[in-house]
Amino acid sequence: MPESPFEKLITFAPELWRALGETLLMLGIGLSSAVLVGGPLGVALFLSEADGSARARPLGRLLGWLINTVRSFPFIILMVALVPFTRVIAGTSIGPLAAAVPLSFAAIPYFARLVEQQLREVPRGVIEAAEAMGASPLQIVTRVLLREARSGLVLALTVLAISFLSYSAVAGVVGGGGIGDLAIRYGYYRFETDVMVITVAILVVIVQLIQFGGGRIARRLDKR
């Protein structure tokens, strides 16, 4: 007698938990890198273009070129191109930690552009008022730009998290582990469609939770 979907879920529960943990690890490292590196890059890109001085303009163009270059790589090609660097950083080219390296490289420029776009939405009058009151550049960034754009930044991070959840599944297919690896090994190679359905359902639930949580936080932070 074939197993019911519930019995199948119980059977694969240990592997599902492990795969889920690997996916969340890859996603967590990628998002952390995006916030810690891509966030300041996005601010620097915005400031260099907003300044418009002869010294800032070349820096903005250089940053923009680097960001666009990395973003132009399809993720699967970026993973292959970064294999030597991944081995240096993670000590291996397979597993969730190794997959987190190209995920981070892809997430950093992606989030940098999102940050730049959100900062552009801050009214120019607010910035000019802060400058008129003698605020320093650092104060303008931390107390004006980031504060005014915080709701949009949360939504940008939400979009990034959902997009890179699918990237983590791709990373799993080529040796990164996680939900993607589990779905391919059982749902595709072994033709166990019920396992594929379970993994897809888990991803749908995660996406819904991320979207709900991000939207709720953004609404609370939006003081307009």
In this structure, are residues 170 and 76 in contact, taking their beta carbons and an 8 Å threshold?
yes
| CA-closest candidate to residue 117, choices 57, 174, 39 | 39
Q: Please name each of the domains of the chain with its CATH number.
A: 5-221 (1.10.3720.10)
Query: What's residue 115's pLDDT?
Result: 93
Mean pLDDT for 8-19 is: 76
Mean pLDDT for 113-129 is: 86
Query: What's residue 181's pLDDT?
Result: 77
**Any idea which residue has 């960001």 for tokens?**
67
> pLDDT: is 222 or 118 the higher one?
118
Does pLDDT of 63 surpass 50?
yes
Per-residue pLDDT tens over the stretch 154-200: 999 999 999 888 888 777 766 667 887 777 777 777 777 777 888 88
Does pLDDT of 140 surpass 60?
yes
